[in-house]
Amino acid sequence: MIALSGLLLYLLLCGWMATLAARRFRAERCLVTAAVFSGAFILPFHVLGVFELSTGVRAATTANAALLLVAGALALRLVPHARVSIPASFERHGWVPSLTLAVFALGALLLAFGRPQGYEVMAYHLPLSVNLLQTHSLMAWDGNFPHTFPANASVLWAVLLEALPERLVSAANLVLLVPLVLAVHALCRLAEADRKASWYACCGMLGVPMIAFSSAELGADIGGIAFATLAMAFVLSPLRPAVAMTLAGLCMGLAIGFKSLHLITAVAVGLVACARDGAPRAGGLDRGLQVHGLQAHDMQARLWNAALFGGVALLAGGFWMLRNAVMLGNPLHPVGVPLVGAWFGWLPSADFDTSLRRTTELEWVDHAWQWLFYPWMESQRYGQNFKHSSGLGAFIAAAIPGTAMALGAAVIRDGLKAHRVRAALLSAVLFIVAAWWLLGDRQPRYVLAALPLAMPLLAWAVTQAAGGWRRVFDMGLAVCIVAMLGVFLSRQALQFGDRILLSRQTSRAAFYEYPAMVDNLPAGAAILNLADRSWHYPLAGAALSNRVISMPEGRRMLALPPSLTAPREVRLRAASLRAAGVTHVFAAGARLTHDACVQLEEAARLDRNPVNGEPLGSARVLYAVRYLCR
């Protein structure tokens, strides 16, 4: 109850900050509220992380973050402002948005019967959250390089896991769809799309498999693209440039804190920011955004826009890079810094295998040129063409040709100057896609940031149709939206029916299929995970109290070659285990040997499928460690 009260107080403080900021604006009030609320939720932990980095004191707790919020809110109240009031309005959204909302609400309900899912979620996103709860530290606590990634998502899940049941938290990522939809809808209206087309674009985007299925897992993709899209919405908004760039920088910093890949998106948005002059654009959406004809007296204002945007983004997202620079010698650890990395020693981590990038795309295509046909030929080697990391779906496949033809014809007819906002969005989309191609790690979800920026182009293209053609477009897009929402909801329903109704995997141990004793270990238990990385979070136990030593860190501890693959043969040494405080070892298929000073006692075993009783391919065994030598 105390933890729940603390969470409610924290949310109220974030809401207070957002209200204090939003009431100063007449335009884009919803966007300002979403941006400031999110920044208030996450950035106090960055401040506490900097404090820990400079003093060594671990203070990253919700209570300390709340104290910082109180101080920030009181300071914001002292800033003079004219109260701006806007009349309340109600907008009818139609049946497609209502259906979309109902589908995701039902999906959230089904998720709340289960537990958090997803490979990367189990392997490092939630382990980071558990480490924060156990140690109150935001430092990189072991040598597992995914644990050094920016961790805004993990901070968010940690705050929620501290106060809410794990079942409810499993659906929390769906909440981040709200700022994503707000941003895309705002961009659609800025691109001069009508209301109906704007909502169709938003709903169609939510039905894209990579977005829908990512939202059902506690990963970082949805948060990253949501705040990156908000950043673009502020850059193109009619707000005064200084305010717009500050809010855009805040959102971009948050996006980078979810996923460092959005450094590329930051460049794309920053280039658009450079194209905006220094005057407010109250006279029209396109006023102030220049595609060509730059004059000398505009240069200072444009450079100021870029500097303000970049500076605020660095402040809002730079903690993770600062931490890695201080602790690991490379701000972008584990990847190397292009061009200047060799000069400053900012090189890739030794266990970060960049050669895998050359073969990653083979999961989806046989040849690189086949990406040109990906929306219409979404094959996948592992039989899951629609999942969190692949699949654009019917809506995008149907929308691309018409949007491309409409935009191309309009530019030829009117010239580029008449389509400044749309040209800015298109340039950002092409920049992100080109960077994705050149970097070589061609996974579909790594180009996901381009998708929300392309949706306003679709909405504008639909708006240009009239009469019978408009009805045809509306009907076709509605059919695609319903079909893709059906794909998402049907899979959630099947998983619920299989795992909850039929298999009765209602307890945590049954859901994750590990020995139930893991949930009943004594305080201070430390489990060395020698199975796959995805066992890390389940082994924390129902109370999230077990300390888990990650599999890659275990490999280093036992002098095995660095790898993200679980070892098949392991020799346990008493000195290494004792130094790490290991009390238990978890293995699933590995052959274990040990020296004379270690004794392994089998504490629990799961060697048959708990649902059908069939033998498992590898028994899941929890060993208690006994030290025989002093």
pLDDT, tens digit, for every residue of 414-464? 777 778 899 999 999 999 999 999 888 888 899 999 999 999 999 999 999
- pLDDT band of residue 613 (cuts 50, 70, 90) is confident
Gap between the Cα atoms of 550 and 128, Å rounded: 11
Q: What is the mean predicted confidence (pLDDT) over 46-67?
A: 96
Residue 1: is its pLDDT beyond 80? Answer: no
Q: Tell me, what amino acid is at 93?
A: H
Residue 424 φ/ψ, nearest 5 degrees: -65, -45
- What digits encode the pLDDT tens for the residues 553-584? 999 999 998 888 999 999 999 999 999 999 99
Q: What is the pTM of this model?
A: 0.93
**Is 451 within 8 Å of 208 (Cβ atoms)?**
yes
State the average pLDDT over residues 144-166.
Answer: 95
**What's CA 394's distance to the chain center, in Å?**
24
Query: Above 50 in pLDDT, residue 285?
Result: no
Query: Does a cis peptide bond (omega within 30 degrees of 0) precede residue 334?
Result: yes
Based on C-alpha coordinates, what's the Rg of the chain? 25
Q: What is the mean pLDDT of the segment spanning 69-79?
A: 87
Using a 10 angstrom Cβ sphere, with 0-12 exposed, 13-18 middle and 19 or more buried, the burial of residue 261 is buried
- Position 85 pLDDT exceeds 70: no
Q: What is the mean pLDDT of the segment spanning 214-224?
A: 96
Q: Which residues 6+ apart lie within 8 Å of 338 measured at CB?
A: none
pLDDT of 287: 47
| CA proximity to 157, closest of 316, 45, 16, 30 | 45
Task: Quote the CA–CA distance of 575 and 556 in Å, as a whole number.
Answer: 14
> What is the arithmetic mean of pLDDT over 5-19?
95
What pLDDT was estimated at residue 598? 94
- The counts of H helices and E strands in the chain are 24, 7
Q: Count Cβ atoms below 10 Å from residue 297 Cβ, excluding itself.
A: 9
**Would the pLDDT of 246 be above 80?**
yes
- In the prediction, which pLDDT does 278 show? 60
When pLDDT is cut at 50, 70 and 90, the band that residue 83 belongs to is low
Residue 290 confidence class, pLDDT cut points 50, 70, 90: low
* Neighbour-count burial for 394-421, b at 16+ CB within 10 Å, e otherwise: bbbbbbbebbeebbeebbeeeeeeebbb
Indicate the pLDDT class of residue 231, thresholds 50, 70 and 90: very high
Residue 601 bridge partners (DSSP): 624
Give residue-wise pLDDT tens across range 369-418.
Answer: 888 888 888 776 666 667 787 788 888 988 888 888 888 888 778 777 77
Q: Is the pLDDT of residue 169 over 90?
A: yes
Res 384: pLDDT: 66
Domain boundaries, the chain: 94-113+176-216+227-336+387-502, 508-627
Torsion angle in degrees (nearest 10) through CA of 11, 105, 232, 466: -150
Q: What are the pLDDT digits (tens) for 483-527?
A: 999 999 999 999 999 999 999 999 999 999 999 999 999 999 999
- Angle, helices 393-414/450-464, rounded to nearest 10 degrees: 60
Which pLDDT score is estimated for 439? Answer: 84
pLDDT reading at 137 higher than 90: yes
Question: Picking from 65-74, 256-265, 308-317, 461-470, which range would have the lowest pLDDT averaged per residue?
Answer: 461-470
Q: Work out the number of other CB atoms within 10 angstroms of the CB of residue 619.
A: 15
pLDDT band at 611 (very low <50, low <70, confident <90, very high): confident
pLDDT above 70 covers what percent of the chain?
93
Chain mean pLDDT for the chain: 90
Predicted local confidence at residue 282, as pLDDT: 46
Instruction: State the pLDDT confidence band at 297, using cuts at 50, 70 and 90.
Output: low
Quote the distance between the C-alpha of residue 178 and its chain's center. 14
